[in-house]
Amino acid sequence: MQPFVYNALPARVIFGSGTLSQVGREIQTLGCGKALVLTGPSQSKKGEVLKNDLGDLCVGLYSKATMHAPTNITDEAVELAQSLGADCVVAIGGGSAVGLAKAIALRTDLPQIVIPTSYSGSEATAILGQTENGIKTTQKTLKLLPEVIIYDVDLTLTLPAQMTITSGINAIAHAVESLYSTDSNPITDAAAEQGITRLAGALPVLSEDPQNNKARSDALFGAWACASCLGVTSMALHHKLCHTLGGTFNLSHSETHTILLPHTIAYNAPFATAAMAKAARIFGSASAAQGVFDLAKNLGAPYSLKQLGMKEEDLEQAADVAMKSPYPNPAPLEREKILSLLRDAYEGKRPL
């Protein structure tokens, strides 16, 4: 077997249905008793319910978590946590709420319990992408890793159909990039293949039957498997472009991942043939790029940047930003080729 290095991340994972009821016990296990609950505006009702359920274990609720973790929102949340004397944070919601918890932990070192309600995967990584002055940057440190992740399948049953698809393909992107990562290994490869398989099987079922409990369970487990890969391998061109378009042009996170993934796969495929052959087999397609594109489009997800409101004249700037700061990638990073990739994604062309 080929030599490899694998760094396991020290997080406690609780998976099942009805597991939200265990939050109070987990707060106490951490030695805490003054939790600040974090949500985004769309999940504020869930945050209120959780706050009330926790009773004296909760000191407040902050419900302004925002996509791409803008630093001014973090400033406000940190000030609230400190004024209330919070000794931990509990995030319930998608990537915005989880990202805010991590941003607070980076500044304060407060313990985190995170309860994802989508398939974004941020909860399983020690990585934070935050935005300031229109630029999204990433940091990687174990201070960002949540102490406890609670996966409750029941919380995903009401996830809207389109968000289910785009969030699921966002998760698949984590696994795909890990397959051709410079630090991939047999453990992450196995997790990536299992994650992609579970999600590729579950998403078509959920597009027809959003309340299908087995498919929801498979999708949530698949998202965790994909996220576990993201946490321990190096991401490449795909994530760089998504951060660029999200941070600079404020495009929706999961939808941007969904649209770009077929094109970034096609860009890298000639330099990662073995990895992409694994993904293609899972999708039952001639190529991994076409498999992802067809999956997304057939399930009604957006497939062009034009649909998200991206302006064609901004593609040049996006290519310039994507070329800044070196990062590992299977294929050489060439501005004109990246610009061509972005134009194909803008038009929604099916990869060759």
Please state which of the four CATH numbers 3.40.50.720, 1.20.1090.10, 3.40.50.1100, 1.10.287.1770 is assigned to the domain occupying 162-347: 1.20.1090.10
pLDDT value for 8? 80
**Domain parsing of the chain, residue ranges:** 12-156, 162-347
Q: Which helix (H) or strand (E) holds 60?
A: strand 58-62
DSSP for 262-314, written as a single string = HHHHHHHGGG-HHHHHHHHHHHTSSSHHHHHHHHHHHTT----GGGGT--GGG
**Per-residue pLDDT, 3:** 81
Task: Give the Cα separation of 287 and 188 in Å (integer).
Answer: 21
Q: Which residues of the chain have pLDDT under 50?
A: none
Helix, strand and coil in the chain, % to nearest 5: 60, 10, 30
Number of C-beta neighbours around residue 156 at 10 A: 23
Residues 352 and 28: their CA atoms lie apart, in Å, by 54
C-alpha span between 45 and 51 (Å, rounded): 10
In this prediction, residue 134 carries a pLDDT of 77
Tell which CATH architecture fits domain 12-156: 3-Layer(aba) Sandwich (3.40)
| Residue 67, CA distances (Å) to 40, 71, 73, 161, 294 in order | 9, 11, 10, 19, 27
Task: Give pLDDT, residue 1.
Answer: 67
Residue where the block lists tokens 């932990």: 105
* Phi then psi dihedrals of residue 72, to 5 deg: -70, -30
| Residue 319 dihedral angles phi and psi, to the nearest 5° | -65, -40
What's the pLDDT at 154?
97
pLDDT at 326: 76
Please identify which residue in the block is written with the tokens 């102490």.
147
Backbone angles phi, psi at 13, to 5 degrees: -120, 125
What 3-state DSSP class applies to 235? coil
Q: Which tokens is 35 given?
A: 């939790």
Phi and psi angles of residue 324, each rounded to the nearest 5 degrees, phi first = -80, 150
